[in-house]
């Protein structure tokens, strides 16, 4: 389970996001939407979750297998269309990897926790407190 607290005061549209462990991220809307672009937009944060999870998952897996994975780069594009929302994920693997290892890492990327969340049914329960 992950729990965060997001809050906004009067500064448009700067949002402070805090984890229970004290980490802080600033989100904001871009200038063209009335924000001051002081942080990632909410959509960028969503896409960055997939990118971060992909990179971390591949790093953990390669480390366990003792594979020569030097670097993982993930580019995530969130595309909103009338009928669906798509994430286009491009992964670049740097290191001395066999074709079989690269194929396995692609399978592992598709099993990262955020990928699973985004591809399963999601329910949002909202209540005023």
| Residue 115 pLDDT | 95
Phi, psi of 29 (to 5 degrees): -90, 155
pTM: 0.91
Ranges of each domain in the chain: 4-33, 42-119
Lowest mean pLDDT among 8-12, 64-68, 103-107: 8-12
| Confidence class for position 1, pLDDT limits 50, 70, 90 | confident
Encode pLDDT of 89-99 as tens digits. 999 999 999 99
Q: Left (φ > 0), alpha (ψ -120 to 50) or beta: where does 4 sit?
A: beta
| Residue 93 pLDDT | 98
CATH class label, 42-119: alpha beta
């Amino acid at each position: 389970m992950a729990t965060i607290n997001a809050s906004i005061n009067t500064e448009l549209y700067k949002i402070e996001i805090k984890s229970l462990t004290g980490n802080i991220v600033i989100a904001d809307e871009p200038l063209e939407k009335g924000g001051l672009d002081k942080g990632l937009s909410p959509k960028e944060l969503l896409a960055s979750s997939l990118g971060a999870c992909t990179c971390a998952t591949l790093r953990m897996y390669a480390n366990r297998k003792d594979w020569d994975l030097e670097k993982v780069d993930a580019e995530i594009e969130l595309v909103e269309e009338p009928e669906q929302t798509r994430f286009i994920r491009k992964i670049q693997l740097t290191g001395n990897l066999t074709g079989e290892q690269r194929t396995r890492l692609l399978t592992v990327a598709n099993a990262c926790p955020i990928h699973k969340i985004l591809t399963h049914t999601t329910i949002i329960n909202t209540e005023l407190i």
